[in-house]
Structure 1
Amino acid sequence: MSADPELIASVLTVGASRQDAAPSVPGAPASARGRRRRAGGLPPGTGLLLPVAVLLLVELAARAGWITPQLLPPPSEVAQTLLDLLRQGVLTGHILASTGRVLAGFALGAGLALGFGALTGLSRTADALLTPSFQALRAIPSLAWVPLLLLWLGIDEASKIVLIAIGAFFPVYMGTVSGIAHVDRKLVEVARLRGFGGLTLARRVLLPAAMPSLMTGLRNGLSLAWMFMVAAELIAASRGLGYLLTDGRETSRADLVLAAIALLAVLGKLSDSLMATVERRVLHWRDTFGGGA
């Protein structure tokens, strides 16, 4: 989905008559400056320096006896636990179970959020009717939903997926509503001068202009989906990373708990990186100060 190029050109003409020209470097297009700024940054993999340093420090501290291995086992022992689970053939099942729940819950929650967010953002009547209720529901802690979902849906997959969908719903909803609400008024005025209205205005102007905020909401919603997945699996599950956390706690195995946490961190980062890639492709037309996600 992209905005009308002619409409954008018209808006830029209108905006130029109202604002002073922004300073620029002679002979350097904005997109080129942005590429050079990103290229001149730190080398790839810089973000790994801190976690690697922490892991090495913990490993050395555990080997030297400065910390109790039963409470904080060395990273090498956690890695060995992961290898043992992989050899036993159970690790893949736990990862697939959790990932499937997150994807199903995120798809359900984000889909509903996009629909309700667009309706609320485009209709003042819907905004007046729905916003107070959604704001109140957003303040409810995740664990408060668990007893009700267990009563309604039991301990099967449905209750877990619905809980994850609740977690994903509100960030996407807020991103959609906020994006539409903060569309440049000049853009809407020029679109109306060109005869756009109703669904055409929403499809060709409002929703494309709201896309940056919407994509931010989707990334935040996916992150919360992983968090709510853990809450769902801690309550009642026989498979999944949340189940590994519960199993490690009940058997006093800190290595198993840390292995599950490490997997959650890796999977969460991978999913966010994938969403960031989609965001860059969808918003390729932007020339922003930030070089990446």
Structure 2
Amino acid sequence: MVTALLATPVSGRSPEEPPPGLVPPLPPRRHTAARGRLAAALRAVGPLALLAGWWTASATGVLTPDVLASPPDVVRAVGELWGNGQLADALRVSLTRSGLGLLLGAGTGLLLGIVTGLSRLGDQLLDSAVQVLRTLPFLALAPLFMVWFGIDEASKVILIAVATTFPMYVNTASGVRTTDPRLLEAMRTFGLHGIALVRQVVVPAALPSVLAGLRLSMTLSVIALVAAEEINSTAGIGYLMAQAQNYARTDILALCVIIYGVLGLAADGIVRTLERLLAPWRRAGAAR
């Protein structure tokens, strides 16, 4: 009897029907391959528009070759430099410089950020000194690094490392400081201390800030690479630019600028991929 009464719909409504005034929840939207292709197409609109404008200006004579070479001339320069091996060697040297400097700088910033964000003593001892160094323009340090480390690879790598340390430090320290102290206390209660606490709790909690710092550091590594390769380079993209400037080769100059831009775009794409793999909940939240 009671079972029959409970199963009887109230006011003619079925048990699955929501009460009046309530909207049934929508199923979660899933990231489909079509949406991924659409996003990639939208991201390509800006660069393609710039390329079309450049091509049109060159074809109509608004941009003359002595001001900026046309896209076909740049393509021919790629074939010339790749054929004689100069472009491949320059890319290898520049990517090695940028990669080593980024690895050293981002690693140092990550370590310092964790120490100062997690330890009050570390914050008191290190933060003020790091903040003073952070205010120094890294471009102003280039002549000093030439005196200290010479004009070889060491001065160039260290200059890139200095430029990439502080964005990672600031973002990591901020992310670690905002970690819920109750979570840390609970993990310590369960016996998690030291490196294990940092690896399993602190770094995952601060991961969005760490990835933001990595994005800035990777962008600065390309900017610092341009400055570093002005220090009496005998190889690399900067060396190609210097030689092209001496011979007024605007096609090679344009090619080098495009390469720097592609490197920056690739760095941003790498961080986006890491964010999608390591912090998928952020993309899910953004999709809503």
Question: How high is the TM-score relative to the length of structure 2?
Answer: 0.83
Alignment counterpart, residue 66 of structure 1, candidates 56, 62, 67? 62
- More displaced stretch, 155-164 vs 220-229: 220-229
The 3 A distance-change label for structure 1 pair 209 and 228 is same
- Separation (CA, whole Å) in 1 of partners of 2:193 and 2:169: 23
2:10 corresponds in structure 1 to none
- RMSD of equivalent CA atoms: 2.5
Matching of residue 26 in structure 1 with residue 25 in structure 2: yes
Name segments (4+ residues, structure 1) moved above 6 Å: none
Contact 2:106/2:165, CA 8 A, preserved across alignment: yes
Contact 1:61/1:67, CA 8 A, preserved across alignment: yes
SS in 2 for 1:42: helix
Contact 1:234/1:245, CA 8 A, preserved across alignment: no
2:217 corresponds in structure 1 to 221
- More displaced stretch, 44-53 vs 158-167: 44-53
How far 1:196 moved relative to its partner?
A: 4.7
- Separation (CA, whole Å) in 2 of partners of 1:287 and 1:77: 40
- More displaced stretch, 161-170 vs 181-190: 181-190
Matching of residue 140 in structure 1 with residue 139 in structure 2: no
1:128 corresponds in structure 2 to 124
Contact 1:34/1:289, CA 8 A, preserved across alignment: no
1:267 corresponds in structure 2 to 263
- Separation (CA, whole Å) in 1 of partners of 2:69 and 2:171: 40
1:257 corresponds in structure 2 to 253
Matching of residue 241 in structure 1 with residue 240 in structure 2: no
SS in 2 for 1:33: coil
- Separation (CA, whole Å) in 1 of partners of 2:286 and 2:230: 37
Question: How high is the TM-score relative to the length of structure 1?
Answer: 0.82
The 3 A distance-change label for structure 1 pair 221 and 180 is same
- Separation (CA, whole Å) in 1 of partners of 2:196 and 2:101: 31
The 3 A distance-change label for structure 1 pair 101 and 38 is same
- Separation (CA, whole Å) in 1 of partners of 2:46 and 2:273: 23
How far 1:256 moved relative to its partner?
A: 1.4
Which amino acid is 2:253 matched to? V
Identity fraction in percent: 37
2:96 corresponds in structure 1 to 100
How far 1:198 moved relative to its partner?
A: 5.0
SS in 2 for 1:70: coil
Q: Which structure is richer in relative contact order (CA contacts within 8 A, separation 6 or more)?
A: 1
How far 1:123 moved relative to its partner?
A: 0.8
- Separation (CA, whole Å) in 1 of partners of 2:146 and 2:263: 27
Structure number, greater radius of gyration: 2
Contact 2:276/2:283, CA 8 A, preserved across alignment: no
- Separation (CA, whole Å) in 1 of partners of 2:34 and 2:211: 21
1:91 corresponds in structure 2 to 87
How far 1:189 moved relative to its partner?
A: 5.0
Which amino acid is 2:79 matched to? L
